[in-house]
Amino acid sequence: MSRSRAIVKVDTVPESSVFPYNHLAFLSQNEISLLIDRTDRMLYPLIRSCSLAVLSSGMATDHDTCLSAEYPNFDMDFERHPRGLKVVLKNAPAQAFVDGVLIETIHDHLFSVLRDLLHSRDLGRHLDQLTGPDSADLVFQILRNAKVLQSDRELSRIVCWGGHSVSKPEYDYAQAVGQELGLRRFDICTGCGSGAMKGSMRGAFYAHKRQKYSAGHFIGLSEPGIIAAEAPNDMVSDLVIMPNIEKRLEAFIRIAHGIVIFPGGPGTVEEILYLLAIFATPDNKEDPLPVVLTGPESSRSIVDAYVTFLETALGQGITSRIDVIIGDASYVAETMQAGRDEVKKYRLETNDAYCFNWCLVIPDLLSTSFAPTHESMSELNLSLSQSSQKLASELRRLFSGIVAGNVKPETRQLVNESGPFKVHATPEIGGAIESLLKRLISENRMKIDGVYTPCYRIIPNC
């Protein structure tokens, strides 16, 4: 629930000082100097834009690109202080404050941004090219540092994927599923945003209250390029900024004890493809991670459309690891419960950690960064002359590029300047893609409002 403009009356708070409570209260002199001096030219702009997104958390808008435009005078200063660091916010959105004091969760998220951006920086500059165990190690270190891993907890983390632009029945259904998960004391991890992500978190949160369970985790995994478009919803208790989209996807997969997929747009399709590429990797055959694709009765046709697209492009058996459940929230929760028990058994057998799936093998093509440009998009290999694992990876990159072209400011600018990405595909695959994308457009799943102009053009290669 956002606080209306009428409610907050003024737009911005001229100046406000905040102090970290935790870990960041203990920066060494060197670390503080890094912030104060703004010596790292790449770092400050990232901090600023992520902080602004966090300060807009709970606002009823996804006019992503406008955020910077709307608060042009927003600025941050850093100072030494006996209680650690002092952060001065200038011209921050007024809705983040109550009686001049920052709302507590926003306060936390603000320091999560600092924590993760500083830490990623410490971990080195070549993380875009990390693969295999090194990539897993990096993801692990960021999550450990963010304290979202807990050893003394039951396996309880359900990752929920789904659109941020969804219909009322889909939102209500996500909330109902969240409720049934929450009544069973599951934690929810999402991509942070609104729609299905918020619905599932809110349902679980309210169910935790009914169970008098206050130790629940509501983890939001974001990344610097996406956070402006998907500011943390008001249920997120633990915000983690992963360094890029591929590490964010890896984080989802490695910490999940179960995955629930609700209908969504190209971002959701990207996530499904990422998952299928992993399932198609022979080393992962035994891993028992439970996955459910679900929606209310009214969404049956879009769920069918996903399955049709996937089976057309990647082969009949490709969705065999995914349970499709329509309109039965408690059955989704029960499926997760049963699957979680399998996961626990498997981890025990393999001596793998409960809190982090080290065993899963992630193909290099999924781990390395994909930067969508006209060149890289045109070079995608969308043909059947490769394993389904490789094709799924290439398709993942395609949809990742489409998401970026829809919402990431710098990618949108590329498209504005040089026209839509040209994507080459064999006719069968191209046809399946086109058909799915049209459906997403017609159901308004590409963006929340306004007329959608595609950022891509599918060109059949002969």
Residues that bind its own copies (CB under 8 A): 1, 3-4, 6-9, 20-22, 25-26, 28-30, 58, 79-84, 98-99, 103-106, 108, 133, 136-137, 140-141, 144, 149, 151-152, 175-176, 179-180, 183-184, 202-203, 205-206, 209-214, 234-235, 237, 327-330, 347-348, 351-356, 358
CB of 320 to its own copies, least distance (A): 27
Nearer to its own copies, 52 or 177 (CB): 177
Residue 364's SS3 state is: helix
Nearer to its own copies, 147 or 457 (CB): 147
Helix (H) or strand (E) holding 20: none
CB of 429 to its own copies, least distance (A): 37
Residue 5's SS3 state is: helix
Nearer to its own copies, 210 or 457 (CB): 210
Cα distances from 37 to residues 25, 28, 48, 83, in angstroms, run 18, 14, 15, 19
CB of 358 to its own copies, least distance (A): 6
CB of 426 to its own copies, least distance (A): 40
CB of 286 to its own copies, least distance (A): 16
Cα distances from 62 to residues 13, 94, 231, 411, 453, in angstroms, run 21, 17, 8, 17, 17
C-alpha–C-alpha distance, residues 375 and 323, integer Å: 37
Cα distances from 256 to residues 133, 228, 270, in angstroms, run 18, 24, 17
Query: Which ranges in 223-284 belong to alpha helices (H)?
Result: 245-255, 266-279
Nearer to its own copies, 112 or 319 (CB): 112
Nearer to its own copies, 80 or 422 (CB): 80
Nearer to its own copies, 41 or 168 (CB): 168
C-alpha–C-alpha distance, residues 226 and 244, integer Å: 9
C-alpha–C-alpha distance, residues 90 and 312, integer Å: 53
* Structure token digits, residue 128: 């875009």
Nearer to its own copies, 44 or 358 (CB): 358
CB of 135 to its own copies, least distance (A): 12
CB of 254 to its own copies, least distance (A): 12
**Strands, DSSP E only, in 198-251?**
218-222, 238-241
φ/ψ of 146, rounded to 5, equals -85, 0
Q: Are 306 and 269 in contact (CB under 8 A)?
A: yes
User: Residue 375: which region, alpha, beta or left (left: phi > 0; alpha: psi -120 to 50)?
Assistant: alpha
φ/ψ of 218, rounded to 5, equals -125, 90
Nearer to its own copies, 360 or 432 (CB): 360
Cα distances from 130 to residues 135, 160, 364, 401, in angstroms, run 5, 26, 8, 20
C-alpha–C-alpha distance, residues 435 and 305, integer Å: 9
CB of 322 to its own copies, least distance (A): 22
CB of 223 to its own copies, least distance (A): 21
CB of 172 to its own copies, least distance (A): 8
Question: CA nearest 197: which of 226, 310, 328?
Answer: 226
Q: Are 252 and 188 in contact (CB under 8 A)?
A: no
Nearer to its own copies, 44 or 206 (CB): 206
CB of 181 to its own copies, least distance (A): 11
CB-count burial class (<10 Å; 0-12, 13-18, 19+) for 141: middle
Nearer to its own copies, 25 or 42 (CB): 25
Question: CA nearest 160: which of 123, 201, 127, 122?
Answer: 201
